[in-house]
Chains A and B, each alone.
Chain A
Amino acid sequence: MYIRSIRQFLLLFSAVILMVGLLAACGQGNGNNSNESSSSNKVNSNGKEESNSKESNEQAKAKDAVKLLNVSYDPTRELYVEFNEAFAKHWKETANQEVTIEQSHGGSGKQGRAVIDGLEADVVTLALGYDIDAIVDAGLIEPDWQSQYELNSSPYTSTIVFLVRKGNPKNIIDWDDLIKEDVEVITPNPKTSGGARWNYLAAWGYALKQNNNDEEAAKQYVAELFKHVPVLDTGARGSTTTFVEREIGDVLLAWENEAYLSINELGPDKFDIVYPSLSILAEPPVAIVDKVVDKRGTREVAEAYLQFLYTDEGQKIAGKNYYRPTNQAIAEQFNDQFPKLELLQIDEDFGGWKAAQEKHFAEGGLFDQIYTPGS
């Protein structure tokens, strides 16, 4: 009887060990990809194989190779693939150290949440400051992050444009045309998509301006606008698919770079880009995740990584990927690509992200009221 229970105990014990081991193994595998829809790309320095880089490392007696994780939002995939390669090369030349940068992409809010929940990002490059502020609230980033880098820590900017079907059959020229009777508008849900918040705010700002800052009228315009939205996707890429692949809607409100990508990837014979009379200056900010870089000892390279975005080379790569460079000299090289238009500013026109978020997108805010019956 005694031996029997010992055997039972051992069996149970080994079962528990096995379970815990299994869980731990699964958990580890999850580390970099804690959400399903975000994808990771590995880009190695100089595009070499990793084994090669190890060899050359030994030869040069350089510092140990280092890895960075950049957690970014949806449409920056192409930008950072190119940028990471350039930076790895630059870092090898200046600091004589191999650096591998891993990327993770997904909706901005979701990515912010992943970092808060423990995804070990060295740097975050998200769609809006509000999502970085949320990480600050979790204690992972110092509150003064926005002054760490020039221009509010926004090395490149973008704006919101209209993507319409070739030849613009519904004759959509400005925000007013979006609420014409037979026009269907495609935009993601501002509650889940960073890009959609910029869409919404641009529409709001336009309506305010048209109606001499009458908020009631602006509210009516935005409510009317969302009545023309037949499908509310959760992210920017989802909306692009709905518009491009499902052929639903007459106009897609999109990031400028996303609109250019759609045209380049799917043929310029299918879509046109329309610049409205007024849009919004979208400043996707970047920040170091202080807690993580201090823990991993990657502060130096992470800081250099973000700083590299401001160099001529970094700015050129941004421009090539349809982000507006903030460096005027570089921006002028892309003048043909980026028509000048009047742009609202989040800080001046909306009192900053915190205020805009509370007023428009928080629980019971203006956006919720659009979808509340009887209001």
Chain B
Amino acid sequence: MSKRSIIPGFRLSIGISVFYLSILVLIPLSIIFIKSFELSLAQFWDTIVNPRVLASYRISFVTAFCAAIINTVFGLIVAWVLVRYQFPGKKIIDALVDIPFALPTAVAGIALTALYAKNGWIGSLLEPLGIKVAYSPLGIIVALTFIGIPFVVRTVQPVIEDLEKEMEEAAVMLGAYRLRTLLRVVLPTLYPALLTGFTLAFARGIGEYGSVVFISGNMPLVTEISPLLIMTKLEQYDYAGATAIAAVMLIVSFLLLLLINLLQWSMNRRLTANS
């Protein structure tokens, strides 16, 4: 602050940022905690360790994690293909990646369910093999994968674009095999972006409601996700119980995101130290 920046408007922009974030993020989030204080500590504890609630946390976090992992792997490949190769229809595929952002999630859920139910196109092929997708945890993963694709592709893509070909050439000149070039030279520079993409997809998956309720079947203990339990409680006029579950999700998500950010931070440090 003491040193004046060349660009004006620091105070104005920080003021707007704080105001904006308070109104849209901080105040609504604090309401969750305030509401959940309506419960006594024992009630709060009973609500959040109820077996069904515990099961729903597990389902939400595990499926979101699996979906984010899948997206990280395949999102990287998609981003790589989109940057490095020229082929007809590339622009279209590039645009397709964004569709999950724009599509109402309920539409996505209904479309996926129609496709993966036992009378759907894909479901009817998988059912004889004994693979049940719709109305099983697998279905939740499919829906969350769909929702999460753009997060990974869009975070990794610009980083790949910035990669210098010379680095790869140098690696090969210095005698690295092609696989080794990929694993030891190219991938490490992408890790931070991949991790960011993973985090975004993961966070999105934990909170996703609209698409999942259609494909999951909502069976308690098996495919009932935490956001659905929150909705259930709201419809029972149990606001405090709903916010208790929400508060726990918020805290767990926050800790996970913090962990991932720490990981990223240390990774970044190693990267800059190496180069």
Contacts and interface: CB of A to CB of B under 8 A. Distances in A.
A16 B220 contact: no
Nearest to B20: A19
Contacts of B19: 16, 19
A264 interface: no
Interface residues of B, number: 36
B268 to A, nearest CB: 34
Nearest to A357: B236
Per DSSP, chain A at the interface is: loop
Contact of A192 (B15, B51, B232): B232
A92 interface: no
A192 B114 contact: no
B65 interface: no
A231 B219 contact: yes
Interface residues of A, number: 38
B50 to A, nearest CB: 8
Interface in B213-235: 213-214, 217-221, 228, 231-232, 234-235
B16 A234 contact: no
A189 B218 contact: yes
Contacts of A362: 236
Contacts of A113: 234-235, 237
A373 interface: yes
Given A247-B119, A371-B220, A363 B241 contact: yes
B84 to A, nearest CB: 41
Nearest to A231: B217
A233 B241 contact: no
Contacts of B228: 234
A12 B15 contact: yes
A91 interface: no
Contact of A232 (B118, B217, B238): B217
B233 to A, nearest CB: 8
Interface string A2-28: 000000100110011001000100000
Interface string A224-265: 000001111110001000000111100000000000000000
B218 A233 contact: yes
A238 B20 CA distance: 38
9 contacts: A109-B236, A113-B237, A191-B232, A191-B235, A233-B218, A234-B232, A246-B120, A363-B47, A372-B52
Interface of A: 8, 11-12, 15-16, 19, 23, 36-37, 107, 109-110, 112-113, 116, 134, 137, 189, 191-192, 229-234, 238, 245-248, 361-363, 368, 371-373
